Copies of this chain bind each other. A is one copy, B any other.
Amino acid sequence: MLDGKNRQIIFASRPEGEPVPTNFAYAESAIPEPGEGQVLLRNRYLSLDPYMRGRMSVAKSYAKGFEIGAPLGGGTVSEVIRSHHPKLAPGDLVSAFGGWQDYAVANGEGLIKIDPTAAPVTTALGVLGMPGMTAYTGLLNIGQPKAGETLVVAAAAGPVGATVGQIARIKGCRAVGIAGADKLAYLKDELGFDAVIDRRSPQLADDLRAACPDGIDIYFENVGGAVRDAVLPLLNDFARIPLCGLVAHYNDTRVPDGPDRLPQLMRMILTKRLRIQGFIVSDFNAQYGDFLRDVGGWLREGRIKYREHVVDGLEKAPEAFVGMLRGDNFGKVVVRVGE
C-alpha cells in the first residue's frame, strides 16, 4: 500500500434546489490497493459537468445516482501509478472516471489512453472528451445541420455549446449563441459565432428574433427555461431539437404553475413537424473514432477553439460546481487535483 492519504469530496446529502456546502464533505482515507487486473490511478484533473446535478437527485435519470456517503463521481485525467492490467503501465495517462478524489482503482474498462504530445491533456475532459463528443454526436445525428440553416445554442461559451456552434459553422450554418454578457465578445471574435445574445437580456425573445431573421432550424437544447420559451415560436418547419441537458431546471424543486403548455407543445411538434430527441453521449459510443478524427482534425487546423476554466485544488470543487450551474465559469471547468 502506498503511503499517504486519499483526499475525497464525499456526497454528504442531497441538495434541494441549488447545492449548498453541507451537501459536500471533505474526507481522507487510505490509498486503495489495486486487485487482480486492476490499476491504481492518481487523478490529475477532475471534470465538473452539469449532468452531475442530475445524479444528485433521487429522480430517475438515465444514469445511476450518486451514493450518499461515497465520493462524488466524475471524469478525470489520471496517471497510472500501479498496474496489474496487461495493457496499462505506470506513467500512462488515461481518461477515466476517477471521481472527486486523489486516487481511484479501476479495472481498465472505460479507460482511454491519452497522448500528451497530441494536445493538452485537459482537452480529454473537454473539446476532445465527453462534452466535445456530446456536441458532435448530438448535432450531427439529430441536428443534421445543412448549409444555410440557422442553429441556436445556449451556454454557448461552455464546452458543449462552443463546440456545437463551431461545428455548425463548419457545416455552413448560421450559428447564434446565447451566453453571459462577459462572454459575448469571445463568442463572436474568437469562435466566429454569427450572432450572440446576452442570456439575461430583458428582451430575450426580441433579441433572438432579430438574430434569426430566417427562423431557427436547429435548437441544440442544453438549458431549457427562458431560452427554450424564446426559441419555440421561432422554429421553422422540420426543425430539429437535440436535447442533452436542461441546466435551467436541474435545481427546480416543484412543477411550475399553469397554464399547462404540454398540449400546446405537442400541437407545435405536429404542425411544424418538429423532431425533439433526447440523447446522452454514450448512446453514440460507436462514433468515438469519427469524433476524434473530425474534431481532432478541426482542432489542429484551428477551425475549432476552446477555453478552459481551471480551478486549483480538489477542495475548491464544490464551490466551482455550484458556480458552474449558475454560469459563472468561462469555458470548460476542470479542477487541478494534483500534478
Contacts and interface: CB of A to CB of B under 8 A. Distances in A.
A134 to B, nearest CB: 12
A255 B259 contact: yes
Interface stretch (A159-167, A179-187, A266-274, A320-328): A266-274
Contacts of A262: 260-262, 264-265
A267 B246 contact: yes
Task: Please give the count of copies of this chain that the complex contains.
Answer: 2
B278 A272 contact: yes
A252 interface: yes
A208 interface: no
Contacts of A267: 246, 249
A275 B283 CA distance: 13
A60 interface: yes
Contacts of A280: 273
A275 to B, nearest CB: 4
A269 B260 contact: no
A118 to B, nearest CB: 31
Listed residue (A228, A260, A262, A269) with the most chain B CB atoms within 10 angstroms of its CB: A262
Contacts of A234: none
Interface string A282-311: 010000000000000000000000000000
A270 B245 contact: yes
Nearest to A274: B278
Given A62-B273, A273-B283, A280-B273, A256 B256 contact: no
Point out which of A261, A270, A276 has the most chain B C-beta atoms below 10 A from its C-beta: A270
Contacts of A261: 255, 260-262
Q: Which of A265, A275, A278 has the most CB of B within 10 A?
A: A278
A227 to B, nearest CB: 12
Given A256-B260, A275-B277, A266 B221 contact: yes
A36 to B, nearest CB: 34
Interface string A80-106: 000000000000000000000000000
A202 interface: no
Nearest to A256: B260
B62 A263 contact: no
A224 interface: yes
B263 A273 contact: no
A211 B274 CA distance: 30
B224 A271 contact: no
Interface string A41-81: 00000000000001000001110000000000000000000
A237 interface: yes
Interface in A198-236: 221, 224-225, 228
Contacts of A61: 271
Given A62-B237, A277-B275, A244 B263 contact: no
Given A224-B263, A261-B262, A262-B262, 8 more contacts: A243-B269, A246-B267, A255-B263, A257-B259, A265-B265, A269-B277, A273-B283, A275-B277
9 contacts: A62-B273, A221-B266, A246-B267, A256-B259, A256-B263, A258-B259, A258-B260, A260-B261, A277-B277
